[in-house]
């Protein structure tokens, strides 16, 4: 069904795509079926390298969509980059056409809503399809909706509108048992006993796949006959979908219920990221400490895992940056709204297009006209609105959370409005504001945002986020250090900012780009996240500032290593003790004045922790390679999965990687070596090898049989050609590799 019409670029008025639709009631499995189609096509593309579809895209439409938002999502799915801020819908349309030109695509438009009496909605749905005509013949659009009318208005033929039928009893029972017992370690007798009880439970659930996921997930957390029998005989699972979902909700941990209800502040099918939710829950005070002394984030992740295992949050996919996100099914979102009551509220003020005589169609925000519950505690605002904040939100005396999600050039966030928030909402625990995106781009000036000294009045604040563009500089006041309870600071992608952080002793997470400089962080011993640290020749920026920050998690990039002058200094970073780091980047910043002998000493002293998964070393010009890299007997990251060498200038061969026997991916980029590591064939876990811009390499060593992919980009031309020449020694060394990719300049 998906692979007919393998044509060429569309050059006439015939549509390059056809539309296929899936329709059925909420919770019937429409999105799951579409996900399976996408997964199959992605697998085909990986295995065949040149699968039918060049692009596979997923966009959730929902009931309150705007044309611009959907086209922006499609643009990001095509380019794998953020969509630029554009003032003109026609410009966005043209850019998307340009990106799609001549490419065969599969686009899933998930959860399309359509009111047959709403002509405006019909026009807007058809506007979404307009730029897609630039693709290659054979493209497909897969639409899911609760109604057939939505499929027809998007161009699906009657015969290509596929209804989701009710599952028969045996199939539904198998589905329920799959979600309940998958991965559960029980013997065959217990499994048969539970299936007998599950048969009676399944009859009460009316064959809803969504209910099978939620109820099955809950049953799977207590796989014993006594509990299942109680469920079978109970009244909560009484034959309606709503009752079954309520039953599943009431069996969540009390704190997990509170965390789930909080999610109702976000719009339907909003992309939820696990760590962002965890940090919000911690800041809101939802997480109780445990007698085991667990970190609050670890407890919160346990709640998240409980919600995920019972399908209250479901894996949605990967965003354009490759980051995993989750969504909440509409029916469960309804439940979250119900249980949260007036505590949580969201304002999805819309974006419409108006006519400007100079610029054509331009975006115009529609102000919120409704009422906000006066006792609301947690508030999400889709788009910045000056009048909304000053006239309504500042009157909410009990507000604990204010999230302003987006702002654009045409609606910049005024500094005086943010100052009024500081002064008027003193009980805030969470404040997250999206600042204007490139608001001075037209006059080629960077954004400058000054934070008022009155921020110190938010004495209860735990979570402060200014989501900025890369052109924005944030000027922070000295009074920021009075926020003694602050746990998280997020400066987005801001171009530049500096402040003294030593007094913020409760800080747990600091998100910033590499140009944000925070001095004297050595006292922040609770710090778990600091993606970038730059060593400078100034007091407060020495590498020993990292010595006692042994709770660091995830990724750490250390720049400015040319300012470290000895192995003794490097050892003061105490990297080996940071056992929870998973990604480490060491960068000498292309400093040509750094002594190669000193670099070698410093790298020896920067021995990473044993459990590190990814290591990248940039601009290293040292004359020797560290013992922890070439000797398996030495302490070091013995379980390393990924290794990146970027812009190493040494002549001769690359270092042997004796210590990294578990390596799965190796990338060599713009290095001067004339040969890869000589022990490659012993790296029996290696799956992927990438070589970029390495002009001196002419011969490959013997490569391990485990390799599944090799990629050569902009290397020596003769070398790259030899790798494609059957019978050449280089070809013979890669002949066994299933996926081979090369790209010439």
- Sequence ranges of the domains in the chain: 17-163, 169-250, 254-340, 342-530
Mean local confidence (pLDDT), 180-208: 87
148-170, pLDDT tens digit by residue? 888 998 888 888 898 888 888 88
Q: Which range among 22-31, 350-359, 406-415 has the greatest average pLDDT?
A: 22-31
How confident is the model at residue 75, as a pLDDT? Answer: 87
How confident is the model at residue 360, as a pLDDT? Answer: 45
How confident is the model at residue 663, as a pLDDT? Answer: 94
How confident is the model at residue 5, as a pLDDT? Answer: 41
Q: Which of 131-135, 406-410, 632-636 has the lowest mean pLDDT?
A: 406-410
403-429, pLDDT tens digit by residue? 998 765 555 678 889 999 999 999 999
Kindly report the CA angle at 351 between 345 and 354, in degrees rounded to 5?
A: 150
Asked whether the predicted pLDDT for residue 3 surpasses 60, the reply is: no
Name the architecture of domain 254-340: Orthogonal Bundle (1.10)
Token pair for residue 243? 């009752």
Confidence grade of residue 115 (pLDDT, cut at 50, 70, 90): confident
d(Cα 298, Cα 463) in Å, to the nearest integer? 18
How confident is the model at residue 9, as a pLDDT? Answer: 39
Asked whether the predicted pLDDT for residue 261 surpasses 70, the reply is: yes
d(Cα 303, Cα 284) in Å, to the nearest integer? 14
Asked whether the predicted pLDDT for residue 147 surpasses 70, the reply is: yes
Asked whether the predicted pLDDT for residue 1 surpasses 60, the reply is: no
Classify residue 318 by its DSSP letter.
Answer: E
Given a contact cutoff of 8 angstroms between Cβ atoms, the answer to whether 420 and 386 are in contact is no
Mean local confidence (pLDDT), 174-189: 88
- Three-state secondary-structure class, residue 529: strand
Confidence grade of residue 470 (pLDDT, cut at 50, 70, 90): low
Name the architecture of domain 342-530: Alpha-Beta Horseshoe (3.80)
Confidence grade of residue 239 (pLDDT, cut at 50, 70, 90): low
Asked whether the predicted pLDDT for residue 652 surpasses 50, the reply is: yes
Asked whether the predicted pLDDT for residue 344 surpasses 50, the reply is: yes
Mean confidence (pLDDT) of the chain: 85
What is the signed CA dihedral for 89, 94, 99, 105, rounded to 10 degrees?
Answer: 80
Long-range contacts made by residues 669-675, C-beta under 8 angstroms, separation at least 24?
669/644, 669/645, 669/693, 669/694, 670/646, 670/694, 671/645, 671/646, 671/647, 672/648, 672/696, 673/648, 673/697, 674/698, 675/699, 675/701
Mean local confidence (pLDDT), 349-376: 59
In 273-421, DSSP assigns E strands to 314-318, 324-327, 344-347, 351-356, 360-365, 378-383, 401-406
- Sequence-separated (6 or more) residues with CB below 8 Å from residue 302: none
- Express as a percent the part of the chain with pLDDT over 90: 43
Q: Which residue has the higher pLDDT, 222 or 119?
A: 222
Q: Which of 115-129, 259-273, 598-612 has the lowest mean pLDDT?
A: 115-129
Domains 17-163 and 254-340 share a fold: no
Mean local confidence (pLDDT), 711-739: 92
Q: Give the helix ranges, DSSP H, for 606-739.
A: 627-630, 717-722, 729-734
How confident is the model at residue 210, as a pLDDT? Answer: 87
Q: Is 355 left (phi over 0), alpha (psi -120 to 50) or beta?
A: beta
Q: Which of 39-48, 353-362, 505-514 has the lowest mean pLDDT?
A: 353-362
Q: Which range among 62-66, 433-437, 520-524 has the greatest average pLDDT?
A: 520-524
Phi, psi of 20 (to 5 degrees): -120, 135
- Express as a percent the part of the chain with pLDDT over 70: 89
How confident is the model at residue 128, as a pLDDT? Answer: 87
Token pair for residue 150? 């939505």
Kindly report the CA angle at 78 between 76 and 82, in degrees rounded to 5?
A: 20
How confident is the model at residue 457, as a pLDDT? Answer: 94
How confident is the model at residue 93, as a pLDDT? Answer: 85
Class of domain 17-163: alpha beta
Q: In what order do the strands lie in the sheet with 581-587?
A: 532-534, 554-559, 581-587, 614-618, 642-646, 665-669, 688-692, 709-713, 739-743
Place of tokens 């900025």: 468
Beta bridge partners of 489: 464, 510
């Amino acid at each position: 069904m998906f692979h007919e019409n393998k044509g060429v670029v569309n050059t006439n008025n015939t549509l390059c795509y056809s539309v296929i639709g899936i329709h059925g009631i909420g919770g019937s499995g429409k999105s799951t079926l579409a996900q399976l189609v996408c997964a199959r096509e992605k697998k085909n593309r990986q295995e065949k390298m040149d699968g039918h579809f060049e692009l596979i895209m997923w966009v959730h439409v929902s009931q309150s969509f705007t044309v611009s938002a959907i086209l922006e999502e499609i643009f990001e799915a095509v380019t794998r980059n953020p969509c630029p801020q554009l003032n003109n819908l026609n410009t966005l349309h043209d850019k998307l056409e340009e990106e799609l030109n001549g490419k065969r695509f599969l686009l899933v438009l998930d959860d399309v809503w359509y009111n047959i009496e709403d002509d405006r909605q019909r026009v807007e749905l058809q506007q979404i399809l307009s730029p897609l005509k630039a693709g290659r013949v054979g493209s497909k659009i897969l639409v899911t909706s609760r109604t057939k009318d939505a499929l027809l208005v998007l161009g699906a033929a009657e015969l290509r509108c596929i209804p989701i039928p009710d599952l028969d009893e045996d199939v539904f029972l198998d589905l329920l048992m799959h979600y309940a017992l998958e991965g559960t370690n029980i013997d065959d007798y217990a499994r048969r006993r539970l299936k007998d009880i599950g048969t009676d439970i399944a009859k009460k659930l009316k064959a809803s796949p969504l209910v099978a996921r939620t109820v099955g997930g809950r049953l799977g957390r207590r796989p014993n006959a006594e509990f299942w029998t109680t469920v079978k005989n109970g009244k909560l699972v009484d034959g309606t979908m709503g009752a079954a979902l309520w039953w599943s909700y009431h069996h969540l941990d009390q704190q997990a219920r509170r965390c789930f209800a909080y999610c109702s502040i976000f719009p339907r099918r909003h992309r939820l990221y696990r760590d962002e939710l965890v940090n919000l829950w911690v800041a809101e005070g939802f997480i109780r400490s445990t007698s085991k002394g667990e970190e609050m984030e670890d407890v919160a992740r346990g709640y998240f895992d409980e919600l995920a295992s019972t399908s209250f949050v479901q894996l949605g996919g990967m965003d354009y940056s490759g980051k995993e996100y989750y969504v909440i099914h509409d029916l469960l979102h309804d439940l979250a709204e119900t249980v949260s009551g007036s505590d949580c509220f969201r304002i999805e003020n819309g974006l419409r297009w108006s006519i400007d005589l100079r610029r054509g169609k331009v975006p115009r925000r529609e102000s919120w006209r409704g009422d906000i519950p006066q006792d609301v505690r947690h508030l999400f605002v889709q788009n910045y609105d000056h009048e909304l904040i000053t006239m309504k939100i500042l009157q909410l005396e009990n507000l604990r959370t204010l999230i302003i999600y987006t702002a654009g050039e045409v609606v910049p966030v005024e500094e005086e409005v943010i100052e009024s928030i500081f002064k008027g909402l003193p009980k805030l625990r969470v404040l997250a504001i999206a600042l204007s995106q490139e608001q001075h781009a037209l006059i080629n000036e960077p954004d400058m945002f000054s934070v008022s000294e009155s921020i110190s009045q938010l004495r209860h604040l735990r979570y402060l986020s200014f989501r900025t563009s890369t052109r924005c500089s944030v000027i922070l006041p000295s009074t920021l250090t009075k926020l003694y309870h602050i746990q998280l600071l997020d400066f987005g992608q801001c171009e530049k900012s500096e402040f003294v952080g030593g007094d913020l002793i409760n800080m747990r997470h600091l998100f910033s780009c590499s140009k944000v400089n925070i001095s004297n962080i050595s006292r922040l011993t609770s710090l778990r996240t600091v993606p970038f640290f730059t060593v400078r020749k100034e007091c407060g920026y020495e590498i020993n500032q990292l010595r006692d920050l042994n709770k660091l998690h995830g990724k750490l990039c250390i720049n400015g290593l040319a300012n470290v002058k000895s192995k003794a200094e490097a050892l003061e970073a105490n990297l080996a003790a940071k056992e929870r780091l998973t990604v480490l980047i060491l960068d000498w910043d292309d400093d040509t004045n750094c002594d190669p002998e000193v670099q070698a000493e410093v790298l020896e002293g920067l021995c990473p922790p044993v459990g590190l998964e990814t290591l990248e070393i940039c601009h290293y010009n040292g004359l020797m390679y560290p013992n922890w890299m070439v000797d398996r007997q030495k302490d070091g990251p013995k379980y390393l999965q990924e290794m990146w060498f970027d812009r190493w200038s040494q002549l001769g061969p690359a270092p042997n990687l004796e210590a990294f026997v578990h390596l799965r991916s190796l990338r060599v980029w713009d290095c001067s070596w004339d040969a890869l590591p000589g022990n490659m064939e012993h790296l029996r876990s290696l799956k992927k090898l990438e070589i970029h811009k390495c002009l001196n390499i002419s011969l490959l060593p013997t490569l391990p049989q485990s390799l599944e992919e090799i990629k050569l980009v902009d290397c020596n031309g003769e070398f790259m050609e030899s790798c494609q020449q059957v019978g050449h020694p280089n070809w013979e060394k890669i002949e066994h590799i299933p996926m081979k990719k090369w790209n010439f300049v």
